[in-house]
Each structure stands twice: as C-alpha cells, then as structure tokens.
C-alpha cells in the first residue's frame, strides 16, 4: 500500500505486509448486506437500517461490521436479530475509529526494528527510537542515524500494528443460545452528513396568469459511507433535536438526476414522509436528484407592491390546492421562476425560498423589482399633538412607465395606536398595524395618494 505525502504527516511511502488478525467472527462488509433502508431529514441527519448476515457461534463471541459512515453517532446504534430476537443478547458494543495513518503507524513501532530505503536503493535497518513530524531516529549497529527529511525514503514494516484499523468499525460482544449461520441482524443508527432539500421551477405562461410547476428533491450524502440499492424515505418537517456538536464541512459532489415523479407522500406524526417507490444507490460524496412533482395549468397572479423607497416589488401568488392542479404538501426549498421569451426560450426572472407548505395554503413568491415601476414616499407635514401624540401627512407617488395599466399595492406600516383622519382613497386594514392602498396607475402615467394619521403612545 502506498501512502502519499500529506500535511502534518511523515512524508514517505509505507509498504505494509499486513498479517491477518484473528477475530472471533468474520467482519461483514457490503457483500454480506441483505438490505438497507435510509431515511433522510432536512437537518444534517440520516437514519439507517442496515441488515447484514453474520455467523454466530453458541455462547459469547465478538462480531464486527465495517463500511459504517465516519459521521455515525455511535450512541444511537442498536443491533437486533431479525429472525431469532430471543436467542441473542447484546453484552457490549464498541465503535472503533482509530484509523491508520503514517504517524500512528510509526509510533506503534517505537523500540522495534524497521527498514528504511533511500532513493538510490540503499537500505538502513535499525531500531526506531523517535518519530517527530518528518524526522526519524534509528539505532543501528554502527550508531545513531537521524534522518531529518524523509521525502527521499521509503520504509517497510512487517504488519499493521495492533489497535489500528483501516475503516471505522462497529464491534459487538454477543451471546447466542445456539450457533447460527448467515443470521440476519439489523443494525439501526443515526449519522450526520445527510440532507435533502427541494428545488422547483415555475414556468409562467398565458400572460403570467398560469404557471407550470415541476419539483425535484436533492439528496446529499457526505456521511462517509455509501448505501447501494437502498430503500429511500425523505422526512419534511421541523424536528426538535438536542444540541449537536460541530460537524466538519465537506466540499462539492457529483450530480445525478432521475426523470419522472416517483414519490408517495403521506403523513407521519406531525411531519410528512416522501417514500421513493423503488431502490436507489446513495453514494458517498454525491448529490442525487429525483423528480418530486409535475403540475400544469396552475392559476397564478402577478402583484406589484410598494413599501417605501424607490422600488416596486414583483410577486407571483398561487394556491396550493387540488382545484388548482396541486394540493400536496410542498417541502421547503427554492422556487425558480422562468418566463418564455418570444423566441420560445425559457429565461430566468427570479426566485424565492418557501417554507414547508401544507395543502390549500397560498404561496407568495418575491421574484424581483419591476424595472418600469417607481415609487416615491414623502412626509409632507408633521406636528405634535401633545407629549404623547403626533400627526403626520404622507404623500405617495407611483409612476408607471409601462405600456399597460397596472395596480400597485402601497403598503404602510403604522405601528400601534394609530388613527387615520383623512385619506385620498379607500384603504384595506390588513392587520392591527398595516394598511394597504390598491392604487390603479394608467399606462405611462402616475398616481398620487395621501393620508393623514395620528399616532399615540
């Protein structure tokens, strides 16, 4: 095995002749896997149910399982006999993660004989006295040899030292009432490094009055293990979890996609489960995309909203109802809004993030600011009405540079304890602190509105 030069480790090549370690039982790996099911949550959590076959002898024995994720939470591991639950008792459970590296391997050979070979093929054999970064000290028959730079050397050791492993390993001490061959045991555990989220594309058609909505889920696996031919479930909802320790960050990954909607949605406790109706490979270091939904002819409305300053916001609203060709719980994610241009191409016009949205709820997407709509808000007068009251008059001017008439919602946040004493047009009281003027503005025109409000505190 060749170990390449890495920062903070000894820069040399280690040639291992690994002796076979004697263990009470064989170590199940992917070839012994009978089935695996993975449930992925929105908050850096995956729950894995891994069924593998073990050979158990009568009495007490140790069994090991490799190929477990590096992000596993060992406090959540539970092993169960699927076929003979009353015949098996778990005496002890351990998670071994002292993985081999150059520094650890060398430290295991202090006071032992090793052989070092330079880049000219000259070998030096001696007792290893000390290891420090890229420095090595040997005791040889001719004296003490100190090698200050090991980048020119290779070193051979007879075997993998005890206590070091090449993969994270779960180890159990089990007691079995009888010998069992190829016994399926289910290993249940939680792991970090797994997430999923939804992405949607809303394509506006028919003069922005309808849209076609497609949805995908992206499943990210940075747990440190792969799950081939797995049963996949996704859980949407805000689960409360105890405070977790900081987790390492991982880089980018490959992207895979499947083509058609394949999830069955159903409720679970106070959350929603999306169950993939087929097996799939969930590889480590991968982002997998799977189709979630497709809906055409969804009725939508485009709105313009002014809340002070210069810009007029553009929103697209639609109802998540069965009557509107939807009516399914929509998991949180980003909706990217597209618009078909005259040449037939779809162009990106904005995006917004939605929270988990139940059926029959209204969605409002803020997609950007209107280029041809401009607002101006001025306080034209203000006076005191005593120590705990004042009065102000506000004037709003809305400019429409489009070739079509529009209606702009002018939203005013008034705080608490207010009273409007004069207004140039009717308004809607949205809640205790907010009013809205629905202002029609002619093409290439402008519209002014004003109101006078008294505040008390």
Which has more confidence, 220 or 146? 220
Q: What is the pLDDT of residue 393?
A: 98
What confidence score (pLDDT) does residue 224 get?
Answer: 92
Residues ≥6 apart with Cβ < 8 Å to 343: none
CA distance 48 to 323: 38
Report the distance separating Cα 120 and Cα 117, nearest Å: 8
Question: Is residue 95 very low, low, confident or very high in pLDDT (cuts 50, 70, 90)?
Answer: confident
User: Can you name the residues that pair with 434 across neighbouring β-strands?
Assistant: 413, 431
Average pLDDT over every residue of 134-147: 85
pLDDT attached to residue 9: 32
pLDDT band, residue 158 (cuts 50/70/90)? low
Q: What percent of the chain has pLDDT above 90?
A: 56
Q: Which of the pair, 146 or 230, is modelled with greater confidence?
A: 230
Distance CA(288)–CA(37), nearest Å, equals: 16
* Amino acid 20: pLDDT: 33
DSSP class of residue 448? E
Q: Work out the mean pLDDT of the chain and round it to a whole number.
A: 84
Overall average pLDDT of the 35-61 stretch:
93
Instruction: Report whether pLDDT(25) > 70.
Output: no
Domains of the chain, start order: 1-31+56-69+84-173 (no CATH), 193-239+253-372 (no CATH), 385-456 (2.60.40.290)
pLDDT at position 256: 42
Distance between CA atoms of residues 225 and 190, nearest Å: 12
Q: Which of 68-72, 115-119, 257-261, 336-340 has the lowest mean pLDDT?
A: 257-261
The encoded tokens of residue 455 equal 């505040």
pLDDT, residue 29, reads: 58
* pLDDT score recorded for residue 19: 33
Does residue 284 surpass a pLDDT of 70?
A: yes
pLDDT at 260: 52
Mean pLDDT of 88-95: 89
H helices of 285-417, in order, are none
Q: Tell me what pLDDT residue 255 has.
A: 40
Paired strand residues for 135: 132
* Per-residue pLDDT tens digits for 228-280: 999 999 998 767 777 655 544 333 334 444 445 578 888 777 788 888 989 99
**Which of 80-84, 275-279, 339-343, 405-409 has the largest mean confidence?**
405-409
Q: pLDDT-based confidence at 373, cuts 50/70/90?
A: very high
Cα atoms found within 13 Å of the Cα of residue 104, Cβ hemisphere only: 13
Residue 96 has pLDDT above 80, yes or no: no
Give the lowest-confidence range in 99-103, 122-126, 300-304, 330-334: 99-103
**Dist CA 86 CA 341 (whole Å):** 67
Task: Dump pLDDT digits (tens) for 379-429.
Answer: 999 999 998 999 999 999 999 999 999 999 999 999 999 999 999 999 999
- C-alpha dihedral sign at 43, 49, 52, 54: positive
Q: Give the model's pLDDT for residue 207.
A: 84
pLDDT at res. 335: 96
> What is the model's pLDDT at position 165?
57
Percentage of the chain surpassing pLDDT 70? 84
Looking at residue 14, its pLDDT comes to 36
């Amino acid at each position: 095995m060749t170990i390449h030069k890495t920062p903070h480790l000894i820069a040399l090549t280690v040639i291992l002749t690994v002796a076979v370690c004697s263990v009470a039982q064989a170590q199940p790996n992917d070839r012994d896997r009978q089935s695996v099911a993975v449930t992925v949550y929105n908050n850096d959590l995956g729950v894995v149910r891994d069924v593998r076959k073990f050979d158990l002898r009568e009495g007490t024995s140790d069994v090991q399982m490799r190929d477990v994720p590096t992000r596993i939470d060992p406090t959540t591991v539970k092993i169960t006999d699927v076929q003979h639950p009353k015949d098996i008792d778990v005496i002890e459970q351990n998670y071994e993660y002292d993985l081999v590296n150059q520094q650890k391997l060398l430290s295991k050979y202090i006071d032992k004989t090793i052989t070092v070979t330079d880049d000219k093929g000259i070998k030096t054999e001696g007792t290893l006295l000390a290891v420090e970064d890229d420095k090595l000290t040997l005791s040889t028959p001719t004296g003490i040899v100190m090698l200050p730079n090991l980048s020119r050397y290779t070193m051979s050791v007879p075997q993998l030292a005890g206590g070091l492993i090449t993969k994270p390993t779960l180890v159990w001490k089990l007691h079995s009432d009888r010998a069992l061959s190829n016994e399926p045991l289910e290993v249940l555990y939680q792991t970090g490094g797994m997430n999923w989220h939804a992405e949607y594309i809303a394509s506006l058609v028919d003069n922005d009055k309808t849209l076609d909505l497609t949805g995908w889920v992206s499943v990210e696996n940075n747990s440190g293990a792969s799950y081939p031919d797995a049963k996949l479930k996704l859980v949407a909802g805000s689960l409360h979890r105890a405070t977790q320790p900081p987790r390492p960050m991982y880089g980018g990954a490959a992207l895979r996609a499947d083509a058609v909607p394949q999830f069955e949605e159903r409720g679970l406790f106070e959350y929603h489960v999306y169950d993939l109706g087929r097996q799939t490979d969930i590889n480590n270091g991968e982002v997998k995309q799977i189709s979630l939904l497709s809906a055409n002819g969804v009725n939508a409305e485009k709105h313009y909203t002014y809340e002070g300053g210069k810009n007029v916001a553009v929103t697209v609203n639609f109802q998540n109802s069965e009557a509107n060709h939807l009516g399914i719980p929509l998991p949180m994610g980003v909706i990217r809004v597209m618009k078909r241009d005259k040449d037939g191409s779809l162009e990106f016009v904005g995006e917004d993030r939605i929270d988990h949205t139940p059926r029959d709820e209204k969605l409002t997407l803020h997609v950007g600011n209107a280029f041809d709509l401009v607002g101006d808000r001025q306080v034209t007068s203000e006076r005191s009405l005593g120590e705990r009251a004042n009065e102000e008059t506000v004037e709003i001017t809305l400019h429409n540079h489009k070739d079509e008439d529009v209606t702009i919602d002018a939203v005013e946040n008034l705080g608490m304890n207010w009273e409007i004493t004069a207004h140039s047009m009717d308004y809607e009281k949205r809640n205790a602190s907010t009013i809205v003027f629905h202002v029609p503005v002619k093409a290439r025109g402008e519209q002014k509105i004003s109101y006078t409000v008294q505040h008390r505190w």
